[in-house]
Structure 1
Amino acid sequence: MNELDELLAKLELDQNIQLEDIPGIDLYMDQVIQLFENKFKGTKRSEGDKILTKTMINNYAKGKLFFPVKNKKYSKEHIILISLIYHLKGALSIGDIKSILGGINEKTDEENFDLEQFYKSYLHLYEKGAEDFKRNVEEMERAVHAELSDAEGYSADLKKVMLILSLANISNLYRRAAEQLTDSLPGLSGQEDGNTKKTGQK
Protein backbone atom coordinates (compact mmCIF):
# COMPACT_ATOMS: atom_id res chain seq x y z
CA MET A 1 0.00 0.00 0.00
CA ASN A 2 1.52 3.34 -1.07
CA GLU A 3 1.22 6.62 0.80
CA LEU A 4 -1.85 7.77 -1.14
CA ASP A 5 -3.65 4.48 -0.50
CA GLU A 6 -2.89 4.87 3.21
CA LEU A 7 -4.26 8.42 3.12
CA LEU A 8 -7.52 7.34 1.48
CA ALA A 9 -7.87 4.47 3.95
CA LYS A 10 -7.43 6.84 6.91
CA LEU A 11 -10.28 9.02 5.66
CA GLU A 12 -12.70 6.13 6.32
CA LEU A 13 -14.98 7.31 3.53
CA ASP A 14 -17.31 4.36 4.04
CA GLN A 15 -18.28 5.47 7.55
CA ASN A 16 -21.72 7.00 7.84
CA ILE A 17 -24.85 6.90 9.96
CA GLN A 18 -26.98 4.28 8.23
CA LEU A 19 -30.69 4.01 8.88
CA GLU A 20 -30.13 0.64 10.55
CA ASP A 21 -27.69 2.31 12.96
CA ILE A 22 -30.49 4.45 14.37
CA PRO A 23 -32.51 2.72 17.12
CA GLY A 24 -36.25 2.42 16.77
CA ILE A 25 -36.76 4.45 19.94
CA ASP A 26 -36.09 8.12 20.62
CA LEU A 27 -32.71 8.89 22.17
CA TYR A 28 -31.48 11.30 24.82
CA MET A 29 -28.75 13.74 23.85
CA ASP A 30 -25.95 11.70 25.42
CA GLN A 31 -27.05 8.67 23.42
CA VAL A 32 -27.05 10.68 20.20
CA ILE A 33 -23.53 11.92 20.93
CA GLN A 34 -22.35 8.38 21.62
CA LEU A 35 -23.86 7.12 18.37
CA PHE A 36 -21.93 9.71 16.36
CA GLU A 37 -18.75 9.20 18.37
CA ASN A 38 -18.81 5.45 17.76
CA LYS A 39 -19.45 5.84 14.03
CA PHE A 40 -17.04 8.66 13.21
CA LYS A 41 -14.25 8.32 15.80
CA GLY A 42 -11.87 7.03 13.13
CA THR A 43 -12.25 10.24 11.12
CA LYS A 44 -10.79 12.49 13.83
CA ARG A 45 -7.69 14.43 12.85
CA SER A 46 -6.43 14.32 16.44
CA GLU A 47 -7.48 12.40 19.53
CA GLY A 48 -8.82 15.51 21.25
CA ASP A 49 -11.26 16.36 18.44
CA LYS A 50 -14.97 16.09 19.18
CA ILE A 51 -17.39 14.64 16.67
CA LEU A 52 -20.50 16.01 18.37
CA THR A 53 -21.04 17.76 21.69
CA LYS A 54 -23.96 19.00 23.78
CA THR A 55 -22.97 22.57 22.91
CA MET A 56 -23.07 21.79 19.19
CA ILE A 57 -26.50 20.17 19.41
CA ASN A 58 -27.85 23.02 21.54
CA ASN A 59 -26.50 25.54 19.02
CA TYR A 60 -28.15 23.66 16.17
CA ALA A 61 -31.43 23.65 18.10
CA LYS A 62 -31.19 27.37 18.93
CA GLY A 63 -30.34 28.11 15.32
CA LYS A 64 -33.41 26.10 14.26
CA LEU A 65 -31.39 23.75 12.08
CA PHE A 66 -33.85 21.01 13.03
CA PHE A 67 -37.43 21.09 14.28
CA PRO A 68 -37.95 21.11 18.08
CA VAL A 69 -37.43 17.93 20.11
CA LYS A 70 -40.07 16.57 22.46
CA ASN A 71 -39.39 15.55 26.06
CA LYS A 72 -35.65 16.06 25.52
CA LYS A 73 -35.56 13.05 23.20
CA TYR A 74 -34.35 12.90 19.61
CA SER A 75 -36.31 10.95 17.01
CA LYS A 76 -34.93 9.09 14.00
CA GLU A 77 -35.74 12.18 11.92
CA HIS A 78 -33.70 14.38 14.27
CA ILE A 79 -30.72 12.05 14.01
CA ILE A 80 -30.94 12.03 10.21
CA LEU A 81 -30.95 15.83 10.20
CA ILE A 82 -28.02 15.99 12.62
CA SER A 83 -26.14 13.60 10.33
CA LEU A 84 -26.76 15.93 7.39
CA ILE A 85 -25.62 18.89 9.49
CA TYR A 86 -22.46 16.98 10.46
CA HIS A 87 -21.52 16.54 6.81
CA LEU A 88 -22.50 20.05 5.74
CA LYS A 89 -20.73 21.94 8.51
CA GLY A 90 -17.28 21.05 7.20
CA ALA A 91 -17.92 23.18 4.12
CA LEU A 92 -20.75 25.62 4.79
CA SER A 93 -21.79 28.13 7.43
CA ILE A 94 -24.57 27.58 9.93
CA GLY A 95 -26.65 30.18 8.08
CA ASP A 96 -26.29 28.30 4.81
CA ILE A 97 -27.12 24.98 6.47
CA LYS A 98 -30.27 26.51 7.96
CA SER A 99 -31.29 27.67 4.49
CA ILE A 100 -30.58 24.27 2.95
CA LEU A 101 -32.47 22.25 5.57
CA GLY A 102 -35.25 24.73 6.27
CA GLY A 103 -37.73 23.30 3.78
CA ILE A 104 -36.92 19.73 4.79
CA ASN A 105 -37.48 20.57 8.46
CA GLU A 106 -40.82 22.17 7.71
CA LYS A 107 -42.04 19.29 5.56
CA THR A 108 -40.84 16.66 8.05
CA ASP A 109 -42.42 18.43 11.03
CA GLU A 110 -45.71 18.55 9.15
CA GLU A 111 -45.38 14.78 8.59
CA ASN A 112 -45.86 14.96 4.83
CA PHE A 113 -42.29 14.22 3.76
CA ASP A 114 -40.50 10.85 3.67
CA LEU A 115 -37.20 11.91 5.23
CA GLU A 116 -35.95 8.32 5.45
CA GLN A 117 -36.28 7.81 1.69
CA PHE A 118 -34.57 11.16 1.07
CA TYR A 119 -31.73 10.10 3.37
CA LYS A 120 -31.40 6.74 1.60
CA SER A 121 -30.89 8.61 -1.67
CA TYR A 122 -28.35 10.87 0.01
CA LEU A 123 -26.40 7.86 1.30
CA HIS A 124 -26.42 6.28 -2.15
CA LEU A 125 -25.07 9.47 -3.72
CA TYR A 126 -22.56 9.78 -0.87
CA GLU A 127 -21.16 6.34 -1.71
CA LYS A 128 -20.91 7.25 -5.40
CA GLY A 129 -19.25 10.54 -4.52
CA ALA A 130 -16.73 8.77 -2.28
CA GLU A 131 -15.73 6.45 -5.14
CA ASP A 132 -15.44 9.39 -7.53
CA PHE A 133 -13.36 11.22 -4.93
CA LYS A 134 -10.88 8.36 -4.65
CA ARG A 135 -10.43 8.24 -8.43
CA ASN A 136 -10.09 12.02 -8.66
CA VAL A 137 -7.42 12.16 -5.94
CA GLU A 138 -5.46 9.41 -7.69
CA GLU A 139 -5.77 11.25 -11.02
CA MET A 140 -4.68 14.51 -9.38
CA GLU A 141 -1.61 12.83 -7.92
CA ARG A 142 -0.68 11.48 -11.35
CA ALA A 143 -1.22 14.93 -12.87
CA VAL A 144 1.09 16.52 -10.27
CA HIS A 145 3.83 13.99 -10.95
CA ALA A 146 3.43 14.48 -14.71
CA GLU A 147 3.55 18.28 -14.36
CA LEU A 148 6.70 18.21 -12.22
CA SER A 149 8.42 15.16 -13.65
CA ASP A 150 10.85 17.14 -15.81
CA ALA A 151 11.46 19.91 -13.27
CA GLU A 152 14.68 19.83 -11.30
CA GLY A 153 14.92 20.25 -7.55
CA TYR A 154 11.38 19.15 -6.74
CA SER A 155 11.53 16.86 -3.74
CA ALA A 156 8.78 14.45 -2.71
CA ASP A 157 7.65 17.00 -0.12
CA LEU A 158 7.32 19.76 -2.73
CA LYS A 159 5.25 17.43 -4.91
CA LYS A 160 3.09 16.77 -1.88
CA VAL A 161 2.66 20.53 -1.36
CA MET A 162 1.55 20.85 -5.00
CA LEU A 163 -1.00 18.07 -4.46
CA ILE A 164 -2.29 19.82 -1.33
CA LEU A 165 -2.67 23.09 -3.25
CA SER A 166 -4.51 21.32 -6.06
CA LEU A 167 -6.88 19.49 -3.71
CA ALA A 168 -7.59 22.65 -1.69
CA ASN A 169 -8.39 24.53 -4.90
CA ILE A 170 -10.87 21.86 -6.02
CA SER A 171 -12.42 21.87 -2.54
CA ASN A 172 -12.94 25.63 -2.73
CA LEU A 173 -14.58 25.35 -6.15
CA TYR A 174 -17.05 22.75 -4.84
CA ARG A 175 -17.78 24.90 -1.77
CA ARG A 176 -18.42 27.98 -3.92
CA ALA A 177 -20.74 25.99 -6.18
CA ALA A 178 -22.66 24.76 -3.12
CA GLU A 179 -22.95 28.33 -1.82
CA GLN A 180 -24.29 29.57 -5.16
CA LEU A 181 -26.87 26.79 -5.23
CA THR A 182 -27.86 27.62 -1.64
CA ASP A 183 -28.44 31.24 -2.62
CA SER A 184 -30.67 30.11 -5.49
CA LEU A 185 -33.06 28.09 -3.32
CA PRO A 186 -36.70 29.26 -3.62
CA GLY A 187 -37.54 32.13 -1.32
CA LEU A 188 -33.90 32.94 -0.69
CA SER A 189 -31.45 35.44 -2.06
CA GLY A 190 -27.72 35.86 -1.74
CA GLN A 191 -28.26 39.05 0.23
CA GLU A 192 -30.77 37.64 2.69
CA ASP A 193 -29.32 37.17 6.16
CA GLY A 194 -25.89 37.72 4.60
CA ASN A 195 -24.09 38.32 7.90
CA THR A 196 -25.33 35.05 9.32
CA LYS A 197 -24.31 33.12 6.24
CA LYS A 198 -20.81 34.53 6.26
CA THR A 199 -20.09 34.49 9.97
CA GLY A 200 -22.25 31.67 11.33
CA GLN A 201 -20.26 29.43 13.63
CA LYS A 202 -19.82 25.76 12.81
Structure 2
Amino acid sequence: MDNIKTILEQLGLETSLTLEEIPHIDLYMDQVIQLFENKFGDSKRNEEEKVLTKTMINNYAKGKVIFPIKNKKYSKEHLILMSLIYQLKGALSISDIKTTLDRINKKLIKEEGNIDSFYQSYLNLTGKNVGDFKADMDARVKEVKNEVIKMEDGDSPNLDQVLMIATLVHMSNLYRRVAEKLVDEMVIEKDGKRQR
Protein backbone atom coordinates (compact mmCIF):
# COMPACT_ATOMS: atom_id res chain seq x y z
CA MET A 1 0.00 0.00 0.00
CA ASP A 2 2.95 2.30 0.45
CA ASN A 3 3.53 2.10 -3.30
CA ILE A 4 0.22 3.75 -4.28
CA LYS A 5 1.94 7.01 -5.24
CA THR A 6 4.36 5.09 -7.47
CA ILE A 7 1.46 3.23 -9.07
CA LEU A 8 -0.37 6.50 -9.74
CA GLU A 9 2.74 7.95 -11.38
CA GLN A 10 3.08 4.88 -13.62
CA LEU A 11 -0.53 5.05 -14.79
CA GLY A 12 -0.10 8.27 -16.74
CA LEU A 13 -3.40 9.62 -15.43
CA GLU A 14 -2.81 13.03 -16.99
CA THR A 15 -2.36 11.54 -20.45
CA SER A 16 -4.92 12.89 -22.91
CA LEU A 17 -4.94 13.53 -26.60
CA THR A 18 -5.03 17.32 -26.71
CA LEU A 19 -6.50 19.40 -29.51
CA GLU A 20 -3.00 20.62 -30.37
CA GLU A 21 -1.82 17.02 -30.86
CA ILE A 22 -4.61 16.16 -33.27
CA PRO A 23 -3.52 16.77 -36.87
CA HIS A 24 -5.65 19.11 -38.95
CA ILE A 25 -5.27 16.78 -41.90
CA ASP A 26 -7.21 13.55 -42.39
CA LEU A 27 -5.37 10.36 -41.47
CA TYR A 28 -5.44 6.79 -42.75
CA MET A 29 -6.34 4.06 -40.28
CA ASP A 30 -2.72 2.99 -39.68
CA GLN A 31 -1.80 6.60 -38.88
CA VAL A 32 -4.70 6.84 -36.41
CA ILE A 33 -3.61 3.64 -34.69
CA GLN A 34 -0.02 4.87 -34.48
CA LEU A 35 -1.11 8.24 -33.04
CA PHE A 36 -3.13 6.52 -30.30
CA GLU A 37 -0.43 3.95 -29.59
CA ASN A 38 2.19 6.70 -29.26
CA LYS A 39 -0.04 8.75 -26.97
CA PHE A 40 -1.56 6.06 -24.75
CA GLY A 41 0.94 3.19 -25.12
CA ASP A 42 2.62 3.88 -21.79
CA SER A 43 -0.68 3.60 -19.93
CA LYS A 44 -1.38 0.03 -21.11
CA ARG A 45 -1.57 -2.62 -18.41
CA ASN A 46 0.75 -4.94 -20.34
CA GLU A 47 2.44 -5.28 -23.73
CA GLU A 48 -0.30 -7.53 -25.13
CA GLU A 49 -3.00 -4.91 -24.56
CA LYS A 50 -3.85 -2.81 -27.60
CA VAL A 51 -4.85 0.84 -27.39
CA LEU A 52 -6.65 0.80 -30.72
CA THR A 53 -6.86 -1.77 -33.52
CA LYS A 54 -8.23 -1.91 -37.06
CA THR A 55 -10.98 -4.22 -35.79
CA MET A 56 -11.98 -1.73 -33.08
CA ILE A 57 -12.14 1.15 -35.56
CA ASN A 58 -14.11 -0.94 -38.06
CA ASN A 59 -16.53 -1.98 -35.31
CA TYR A 60 -17.02 1.67 -34.27
CA ALA A 61 -17.79 2.56 -37.89
CA LYS A 62 -20.09 -0.44 -38.53
CA GLY A 63 -21.89 0.13 -35.23
CA LYS A 64 -22.29 3.83 -36.06
CA VAL A 65 -20.45 4.85 -32.90
CA ILE A 66 -18.55 7.28 -35.14
CA PHE A 67 -20.01 9.07 -38.15
CA PRO A 68 -19.05 7.73 -41.61
CA ILE A 69 -15.55 8.29 -42.92
CA LYS A 70 -14.69 9.69 -46.33
CA ASN A 71 -12.09 8.24 -48.69
CA LYS A 72 -10.76 5.83 -46.04
CA LYS A 73 -9.50 8.79 -44.02
CA TYR A 74 -10.33 9.93 -40.51
CA SER A 75 -10.85 13.60 -39.72
CA LYS A 76 -9.96 15.56 -36.63
CA GLU A 77 -13.55 15.05 -35.47
CA HIS A 78 -13.20 11.27 -35.84
CA LEU A 79 -10.04 11.37 -33.72
CA ILE A 80 -11.81 13.36 -31.01
CA LEU A 81 -14.63 10.81 -30.97
CA MET A 82 -12.16 7.93 -30.82
CA SER A 83 -10.39 9.58 -27.91
CA LEU A 84 -13.73 9.85 -26.09
CA ILE A 85 -14.54 6.23 -26.95
CA TYR A 86 -11.14 5.14 -25.64
CA GLN A 87 -11.99 6.66 -22.25
CA LEU A 88 -15.65 5.61 -22.17
CA LYS A 89 -15.08 1.96 -23.09
CA GLY A 90 -13.43 1.33 -19.72
CA ALA A 91 -16.81 1.62 -18.04
CA LEU A 92 -19.59 1.57 -20.65
CA SER A 93 -20.76 -0.92 -23.26
CA ILE A 94 -20.40 -0.01 -26.92
CA SER A 95 -24.19 0.34 -27.07
CA ASP A 96 -24.11 2.86 -24.21
CA ILE A 97 -21.24 4.74 -25.86
CA LYS A 98 -23.21 4.90 -29.11
CA THR A 99 -26.18 6.36 -27.23
CA THR A 100 -23.96 8.84 -25.42
CA LEU A 101 -22.30 10.10 -28.59
CA ASP A 102 -25.37 9.90 -30.85
CA ARG A 103 -26.28 13.60 -30.83
CA ILE A 104 -22.67 14.66 -31.34
CA ASN A 105 -22.36 12.29 -34.32
CA LYS A 106 -25.60 13.62 -35.84
CA LYS A 107 -24.41 17.21 -35.53
CA LEU A 108 -21.09 16.31 -37.12
CA ILE A 109 -22.83 14.56 -40.03
CA LYS A 110 -24.88 17.71 -40.66
CA GLU A 111 -21.76 19.84 -40.12
CA GLU A 112 -23.68 21.84 -37.52
CA GLY A 113 -21.36 21.86 -34.62
CA ASN A 114 -17.86 22.49 -33.45
CA ILE A 115 -16.73 19.60 -31.33
CA ASP A 116 -13.48 21.39 -30.36
CA SER A 117 -14.96 23.46 -27.53
CA PHE A 118 -16.86 20.44 -26.16
CA TYR A 119 -13.68 18.36 -26.24
CA GLN A 120 -11.64 21.12 -24.58
CA SER A 121 -14.23 21.29 -21.78
CA TYR A 122 -13.94 17.52 -21.42
CA LEU A 123 -10.14 17.82 -21.18
CA ASN A 124 -10.46 20.60 -18.59
CA LEU A 125 -12.72 18.39 -16.46
CA THR A 126 -10.48 15.34 -16.79
CA GLY A 127 -7.54 17.40 -15.58
CA LYS A 128 -9.52 18.42 -12.51
CA ASN A 129 -10.70 14.82 -12.05
CA VAL A 130 -7.10 13.59 -11.85
CA GLY A 131 -6.32 16.06 -9.06
CA ASP A 132 -9.47 15.10 -7.17
CA PHE A 133 -8.69 11.41 -7.69
CA LYS A 134 -5.17 11.72 -6.26
CA ALA A 135 -6.50 13.50 -3.17
CA ASP A 136 -9.21 10.86 -2.79
CA MET A 137 -6.65 8.06 -3.12
CA ASP A 138 -4.65 9.53 -0.24
CA ALA A 139 -7.79 9.55 1.89
CA ARG A 140 -8.71 5.97 0.87
CA VAL A 141 -5.25 4.66 1.76
CA LYS A 142 -5.56 6.19 5.25
CA GLU A 143 -9.07 4.77 5.68
CA VAL A 144 -7.96 1.28 4.64
CA LYS A 145 -4.97 1.39 6.99
CA ASN A 146 -7.27 2.45 9.85
CA GLU A 147 -9.67 -0.40 9.11
CA VAL A 148 -6.85 -2.96 8.98
CA ILE A 149 -5.59 -1.79 12.37
CA LYS A 150 -9.06 -2.45 13.84
CA MET A 151 -9.24 -5.99 12.45
CA GLU A 152 -8.40 -9.03 14.57
CA ASP A 153 -6.31 -10.58 11.79
CA GLY A 154 -4.99 -7.26 10.53
CA ASP A 155 -1.46 -8.61 10.31
CA SER A 156 -2.36 -11.11 7.56
CA PRO A 157 -0.32 -10.54 4.39
CA ASN A 158 -1.90 -8.43 1.65
CA LEU A 159 -5.06 -7.80 3.66
CA ASP A 160 -4.70 -4.08 3.14
CA GLN A 161 -4.25 -4.57 -0.61
CA VAL A 162 -7.33 -6.79 -0.87
CA LEU A 163 -9.36 -4.25 1.10
CA MET A 164 -8.06 -1.41 -1.10
CA ILE A 165 -8.83 -3.33 -4.30
CA ALA A 166 -12.37 -4.10 -3.11
CA THR A 167 -12.90 -0.47 -2.12
CA LEU A 168 -11.64 0.88 -5.45
CA VAL A 169 -13.75 -1.56 -7.44
CA HIS A 170 -16.79 -0.61 -5.36
CA MET A 171 -16.21 3.10 -6.04
CA SER A 172 -15.74 2.36 -9.73
CA ASN A 173 -19.02 0.44 -9.79
CA LEU A 174 -20.85 3.31 -8.10
CA TYR A 175 -19.62 5.80 -10.70
CA ARG A 176 -20.35 3.38 -13.57
CA ARG A 177 -23.90 2.75 -12.35
CA VAL A 178 -24.66 6.48 -12.23
CA ALA A 179 -23.20 6.89 -15.74
CA GLU A 180 -25.38 4.01 -16.98
CA LYS A 181 -28.49 5.63 -15.49
CA LEU A 182 -27.64 8.88 -17.28
CA VAL A 183 -27.33 6.92 -20.54
CA ASP A 184 -30.71 5.30 -19.82
CA GLU A 185 -32.22 8.79 -19.45
CA MET A 186 -30.85 9.69 -22.89
CA VAL A 187 -32.56 6.60 -24.33
CA ILE A 188 -35.83 7.56 -22.64
CA GLU A 189 -35.60 11.11 -24.05
CA LYS A 190 -34.88 9.75 -27.53
CA ASP A 191 -37.62 7.11 -27.49
CA GLY A 192 -40.09 9.28 -25.60
CA LYS A 193 -41.09 6.49 -23.25
CA ARG A 194 -40.17 5.44 -19.75
CA GLN A 195 -38.46 2.14 -19.10
CA ARG A 196 -38.70 0.10 -15.93
Residue 145 of structure 1 pairs with residue 145 of structure 2: yes
Give the TM-score, by structure 2 length.
0.93
Residue 171 of structure 1 pairs with residue 179 of structure 2: no
Q: Give the partner amino acid of 1:187.
A: K
Q: How does 1:32-181 map to 2 (within 5 A)?
A: 32-154=32-154, 155-181=156-182
Q: Give the partner amino acid of 2:82.
A: I
Q: Give the partner amino acid of 2:153.
A: G
RMSD between superposed Cα atoms in Å? 1.5
Aligned to 1:187: 190
Stretches of structure 1 lacking an aligned partner (at least 5 in a row): 193-202
Give the TM-score, by structure 1 length.
0.91
Superposed structure 1 runs of 4+ greater than 6 Å apart: none
Partner SS, residue 149 of structure 1 = helix
Q: In structure 1, what is the Cα distance between the partners aligned to 2:88 and 2:195? A: 21
Contact 1:36 1:51 in 2 (8 A): yes
Partner SS, residue 190 of structure 2 = coil
Report how many aligned residue pairs link the two structures. Answer: 191
Q: In structure 2, what is the Cα distance between the partners aligned to 1:26 and 1:156? A: 53
Q: What whole-Å deviation, never above 9, does each CA across 1:51-109 have from its counterpart, x for those lacking one?
A: 00000000000000011000000000000000000000010001100000000000122
Shift of 1:115: 0.2
Shift of 1:151: 2.4
Q: In structure 1, what is the Cα distance between the partners aligned to 2:98 and 2:148? A: 43
